[in-house]
Structure 1
Amino acid sequence: SPPAVRLAAAVAMAAALALATPPAPASGCPAPCRCDGAFVYCNDRALTSVPSGIPREATTLFLQNNLINDAGIPSELTHLRDVDTLHLQENRVRVVPRAALARLAALERLHLDDNVVTSVGVERGAFAGAAGLKVLFLSRNLLSAVPIGLPRGLEELRLDDNRVGAISEQALGGLGNLKRLFLEGNQLSEKSIAERAFRDLDSLAELSLARNAFAAVPANLPGTRLERLYLQDNRISRVSAGALAGLRQLARLDLSGNSLGVLPQGVFDDLSQLAQLSVRNNPWRCTCALLWLQEWMK
């Protein structure tokens, strides 16, 4: 009968349309990305900006290894109130604009390593409003100074392999929660660090100053809780008798790959917790002045 024919035709057409239409992407997930619960993977996609349509409930956003420039940080992420981890490493980010992160109220971990951020590009107030930020990776950028106005709750700061040539008295001011600070691979010397640069770092447990231009161990190291100090691959030729005084929690010290010939007796007297000392690859002068070190290391 005609109705039956029409019904059969409608069913056939619906089936054909179903075959011709590609499956809809996962609910709320932008086409170039993959979503797995609150984890959104948009990495390695040659993206030039942050895709629209990222689900509001996202907590971890992977955007690394794309072609995103500085315009990718602010406006396109402002609706993501629950994102606590943002991966933007290996992009083309040059600028961190003023209050760029202010609307990412839950942000705790920001990865901006392997970009082209300059000190001029970090605008004053760039981190204003990012009060919850605990981990900031800025390794392998073009920074010539420590960014000003870092969040006071910061616990880990990575600035390794930049062009930082000095640390002012204000640069690390107020960072009393900072536990790990990585400054290796810069252009620092004992003369370019302000006398009170480390004064507020009462929680610091790990400090790396490796691969810089130190000729001596810097003075006024943050000693209250420092457990690991890395000074390898500098030009250190002398360690003054009191250089390490007060570092009573220090458990690991690396002075390898320097220009040390001797060490003054008693230089490690305060280091009652020292469990690992590395002094290899130094041009030691084998004289009686070093006998004490041999005995001490037993």
Structure 2
Amino acid sequence: MLGPSGPNCNKECDCPISFPSAMYCDSRKLKFVPIVPTGIKYLYLQNNLIEEIKAGVFDNVTDTLRWLVLDNNQITNAKIEKGTIDKLTALEKLFFSFNQITEAVIPPSKSLEELKMTNNKLSKFPSGLLNDKENLTSVSLQHNELTSEGIADAFKGPKKLLSLDLSHNKLKKLPAGVPSSLEILYADFNEIDKIGAGYLKKLPTLRYLRVSHNKLLDSGIPAGVFNVTSLLELDLSFNKLQSIPEINEQLEQLYLQANEINTISAVTLIPLRRVQFKSLHANCFAAGGIQYVSIRQLKKLCTVYCDNKGLKSIPKIPPYTWYLYLQNNLIETMPLDALQNATQLRWINLNRNKITSDKVGEGVLGGMKHLAHLYMDDNLLSTVPSPLPVSLEHLRLSRNRISKIPAGVFVGLDKLNLLDLQGNKLMDDGVTEVSLKGLTSLVQINLAKNQLSSMPLGLPPTTTQLFLDGNNIEKIPADYFKGLPKMAFLRLNHNKLGSAGIPKDIF
């Protein structure tokens, strides 16, 4: 795959002639580090079974090796002999992830730029290890067992450090003593319950801060701690916050999903002219908990996921919810007050429940002035719900028990462009000339897998796609498509059409 190797290469590895300073020893089931020849600057040893590093293997490259990649091996500290990594004075990148080291392995090189030791068993990273690493810009230590005490003052030394990843550890607080040059700090999946007052003031160039999946409470966030001009992205999701903390107007992205937020004040959001609330999912807003200014800021953001939970009724939905997912439950009823708080709904998915027409409260849907998508596939409906919101654009009612479309049920729905009624029990007398009256914008209608024996009447002239497969249709009237000038897609497979039932030149 790499082509012929150059003459200066260990027999266990490949050294491409086009890149003679690199030696590829990766993915070869090696149990040891081979002796590295003179002239090699880039050494790849990842994805092997290496358990030890013996003295002497780097003797030819102590002052020339720049990259050392040892990811995905079985190396322990006890099997790293002296005279190996501790002699590499020119190393720029050391990748030591997915091994079994319990103590950091740091080369003496002052040229080190990137250090990765993720997915090991580090419980501490003593101060002083990085003191002379004046060129170090990135440190990745996620997925270890580091504690706050174990990393005290560990990162003071590298004055050019830009990125520090300490996610998936056991930290109780954000690391102290990090250099003011830092731009990225990730501390997700720890046990952090508070942020020190003025912490971000000491990091004037910090752009990205992630503290998701921790134990942050409102009481652990001092006033104004995140109100700094440098911050562009702030992730506080999956904590225990009950309110949105004060943030600076320069912030661009804010993540808050899966907290316990129940109130949002106007004061909090007024300065946020640029911010994108990436998510507020799985928070619970009480009635009156969001003030007017917040509505404008938070539209398109509030989504409630209640799918696959075995629900037998619709729970109380927070105000200003836009997207509501209730599919795959055991819901049987839609009482009039089921959605009374959720007046801003745009999308409801009730697929795969047990809702019957007699248990749908009259008017439960009609008052939703913004609802655009209503999905009620795979229920037990015997008729089309009525009244429907005039804002509706997509209506899916497939695989129910609907046998008739009442006259006038679609009157006023001039925005509806998709109607899906496949897999019901519609017969010819259930789809009359007036059944679809009012659908002046209809583009697609799906009447497949019903019990129609003739082509449906009263289709709007805007109809472009018509699905009629799986019925009992025997013939097509000669002038059927004259009133359908935009028809472009027609399905009639699996019917009872014979040659006599298809007029000449009908298509």
Normalised by the length of structure 1, the TM-score is 0.71
Deviations 1:111-163 (A, max 9, x none): 11111110001111111431111100000000000001100110000000000
- Distance in 2, Cα, partners of 1:249 & 1:127: 31
Partner of 2:350: 112
- 2:319 maps to amino acid: R
- Distance in 2, Cα, partners of 1:214 & 1:128: 29
CA shift, 1:34, in A, is 3.6
- Distance in 2, Cα, partners of 1:69 & 1:157: 23
- Distance in 1, Cα, partners of 2:456 & 2:486: 18
> Does the alignment pair 1:184 with 2:376?
no
Partner of 1:266: 505
Partner of 1:165: 403
> Does the alignment pair 1:138 with 2:352?
no
Task: State the percentage of identical aligned residues.
Answer: 29
217, 228, 233: which one pairs with 2:465?
A: 228
- 1:141 maps to amino acid: N
> Does the alignment pair 1:239 with 2:476?
yes
335, 346, 349: which one pairs with 1:97?
A: 335
Partner of 2:241: 27
CA shift, 1:82, in A, is 2.3
- Distance in 2, Cα, partners of 1:249 & 1:128: 30
- 2:489 maps to amino acid: R
> Does the alignment pair 1:253 with 2:490?
yes
What are structure 1's unaligned runs of at least 5 residues?
1-17, 43-50, 269-298
- 1:245–1:190: structure 2 CA closer, same or farther, 3 Å change rule? farther
Partner of 1:59: 302
- 1:227 maps to amino acid: T
Partner of 2:446: 208
Partner of 2:132: none
Decide which structure has the larger Cα Rg and report it: 2
8 Å contact 1:102–1:130 — kept in the other structure?
A: no
8 Å contact 2:285–2:319 — kept in the other structure?
A: no
8 Å contact 1:99–1:125 — kept in the other structure?
A: no
Of structures 1 and 2, the one with the larger relative CO (CA 8 A, separation 6+) is 1
8 Å contact 2:369–2:390 — kept in the other structure?
A: yes
- 1:208 maps to amino acid: N
8 Å contact 2:408–2:437 — kept in the other structure?
A: no
- 1:23 maps to amino acid: K
8 Å contact 2:374–2:394 — kept in the other structure?
A: yes
> Does the alignment pair 1:38 with 2:279?
yes
8 Å contact 1:173–1:200 — kept in the other structure?
A: yes
8 Å contact 2:417–2:442 — kept in the other structure?
A: yes
Partner of 2:313: 70
8 Å contact 2:414–2:438 — kept in the other structure?
A: yes
- Distance in 1, Cα, partners of 2:383 & 2:444: 20
8 Å contact 1:99–1:127 — kept in the other structure?
A: no
CA shift, 1:266, in A, is 3.4
8 Å contact 1:127–1:151 — kept in the other structure?
A: yes
- Distance in 2, Cα, partners of 1:39 & 1:228: 37
Partner of 1:13: none
Partner of 2:158: none
Q: CA RMSD in A?
A: 2.7
- Distance in 2, Cα, partners of 1:185 & 1:110: 21
- 1:65–1:185: structure 2 CA closer, same or farther, 3 Å change rule? same
- Distance in 2, Cα, partners of 1:198 & 1:235: 21
- Distance in 1, Cα, partners of 2:241 & 2:350: 29
Partner of 2:386: 148
What are structure 2's unaligned runs of at least 5 residues?
1-171, 173-190, 194-213, 217-238, 244-256, 260-276, 291-297
- Distance in 2, Cα, partners of 1:88 & 1:71: 8
CA shift, 1:241, in A, is 1.1
CA shift, 1:199, in A, is 1.5
Secondary structure at 1:70 match in 2: coil
8 Å contact 1:41–1:63 — kept in the other structure?
A: no
- 1:230 maps to amino acid: F
8 Å contact 1:145–1:166 — kept in the other structure?
A: yes
8 Å contact 1:167–1:193 — kept in the other structure?
A: yes
- 1:63 maps to amino acid: C
CA shift, 1:37, in A, is 4.6
Secondary structure at 1:136 match in 2: strand
Secondary structure at 2:431 match in 1: coil
8 Å contact 1:105–1:130 — kept in the other structure?
A: yes
